[in-house]
A and B are shown apart, each in its own frame.
Chain A
Amino acid sequence: MSTHEIEHLATCITAHAWNADRSRVAICPNNNEVHVYAKQGTSFVCEHILSEHDQVVTCIDWAPKTNRILTSSQDRNAYVWTFKDGQWKPVLVLLRINRAATHVKWSPQENKFAVATGAKLVCICFFEEEHDWWASNHIKKHKSTVLKVDWHPNNLLLATSSSDFKVRVFDAYIRKADGRSVTRPYGEVPFGEPIFEFNECSSWVHALKWSPSGNSLAYSSHDSVFCVADFSTNPPTVEKIKLRSLPLRDLLYITENSIVGVGYDCNPLLITNSGGWKFSDEMDKASTSGAAGAEATSARKLFQNKVDLGESSKSDTKLSTAHQNCISFIVPFKSVGGVVSDFSTSGLDGNVIIWHVKALEAKNKLKVL
């Protein structure tokens, strides 16, 4: 069994999202459109083009239960798309922001969603029956652009990562959406007040994810620092590791104790926890030897050839990894009970790659815990 399947769908992909049965994928080819591809046989065919946004679409999230697509864009808008009569119909969300929307995420129960923005705030959006639109409440308290948001599995806590170098955890309880009968984990916290603030990072915090159980929160920043906060204690205890590699842009828990990080190395990294989090291995090893540092050598070769032979761009600059540019997005492809057996990544090279964890483990002698 091969370790991965590559689909080249565009020149550059900013985000991708799968539907519930993984027969369709929505991607943004780095412009104002969202393309929905359907799998037909072995290839993907473009089925719909959603073009309501005016500027680059920054993020896509496809709700599995309610089959709604959520998109955010630099044009300061977010749309909820529903499929009716063979067409995707957009509904505008009232975000009330004056900067780009950077990231979106449906809550696990899909009754609300969060939008991260460049206006130094997060919008928690919920449906207002009486007006038939999506309204939003603002969580401020950020000192710079919010880059990512992620929902705790309990549908109430929201973690945000920001370019003010901090990670914050909020209680995003909305009475109109959640009702009165829910138990809030940290009591009656006022809306918009951070419950916890983490400042281990000294650069933009690009990525964060809750573990499947919600007991830990992983985040990573542009100074190649990777942290995991353990919420079994109050206040949470944080483990920080400094990576050897280039910074990570996105994270995914494939089990409670194993995380895949993707980023500027173009190579998914495996980070595992056995009595302490540690960098385990690169997941995409070239079958030929000398994978490590291959990029550096090929770049060096390019300049060496220029100097020695006066050649320009004759040498091979193809990377030994499957992705040929920064990986910016990772989502689970197949998962059962929090254990991800396949995941997919997309990046600035326009590839969507589906990885098979078992095959990767066998081929590269990895240990997923």
Chain B
Amino acid sequence: MADEDNVEVIAGGKSDAEYKSDIANRERECTKALNMGKPQDALPIALADPPIYTKTQAIKDQNATVVLSLLGGFKEKDIEASVNGLNDDQLDVLMKYIYRGLAAGENSAVFLKWHEVVLKKGGMGTIIRTISEKKTV
């Protein structure tokens, strides 16, 4: 079909500076939760407001590092309970980061475990949205 690249991404979101400070705040909270051994508390915080509207790759990378290190810090038995507490939008964001983690190719075992649990909760729809949406993380 014609001219897919001309399809504009809907403008919105924040400026790069705002994204940066938000991500730094989130990083602090996540580190705190990780140090206390309670990564499940930090999961909804980490998944909030992903930088989907910015074109700056560095900001996307920065947020991805925060989320992926949090996901990697989970104990396997905690994953299911945390995922069950998420809503549909958070599940979609989480799935996008899981695919990003898998693409990086490190620590894949833990991301495959996440993938299995999110797929069970959110169905094939979450995978479809990860693949088809242009709002990448």
Contacts and interface: CB of A to CB of B under 8 A. Distances in A.
B125 A245 contact: yes
B129 A99 contact: no
A30 interface: no
A118 B1 contact: yes
Contact of B7 (A143, A224, A225, A246): A143
B125 A222 contact: no
A222 B132 contact: yes
Interface in B39-97: 88-89, 92
Contacts of A225: 129
A202 B125 contact: no
A243 B129 CA distance: 10
Given A202-B135, A223-B128, A223-B133, A244 B122 contact: yes
A247 B128 contact: yes
B2 A144 contact: yes
B32 interface: no
Nearest to A100: B1
A107 interface: no
B125 A163 contact: no
B103 interface: no
A242 B92 contact: yes
B124 A245 contact: yes
A99 B132 CA distance: 24
A143 B8 contact: yes
A203 B6 CA distance: 13
Contacts of A242: 88-89, 92, 125, 129
Task: Pick the most buried of B4, B123, B132: most chain A CB atoms within 10 A of its CB.
Answer: B132
A247 B125 CA distance: 7
A145 B6 contact: no
Interface string A151-166: 0000000000001110
Interface string A239-251: 0001111110000
A145 B133 contact: no
A116 to B, nearest CB: 12
B122 A99 contact: no
A99 B3 CA distance: 12
B124 A145 contact: no
B2 A99 contact: yes
A145 B1 contact: yes
B6 A143 contact: yes
A245 B7 contact: no
Nearest to B124: A246
Contacts of B132: 202-204, 222-223, 247
A355 to B, nearest CB: 23
A203 B8 CA distance: 12
A163 B135 CA distance: 16
Contacts of B1: 118, 144-145, 163, 204
Interface of B: 1-4, 6-8, 10, 88-89, 92, 122-125, 128-129, 132-135
Given A163-B7, A224-B125, A245-B125, 4 more contacts: A202-B129, A204-B1, A204-B132, A245-B124
Interface of A: 99, 118-120, 143-145, 163-165, 199, 202-204, 222-225, 242-247
20 contacts: A143-B3, A144-B6, A144-B7, A163-B1, A199-B10, A202-B134, A202-B135, A204-B1, A204-B132, A223-B128, A223-B129, A224-B124, A224-B125, A224-B128, A224-B129, A242-B88, A244-B122, A245-B123, A245-B124, A246-B125
Rank and list the top 7 A-B pairs by shortest CB-CB distance, nearest first. A244-B123, A224-B125, A145-B1, A203-B132, A202-B133, A223-B129, A223-B132
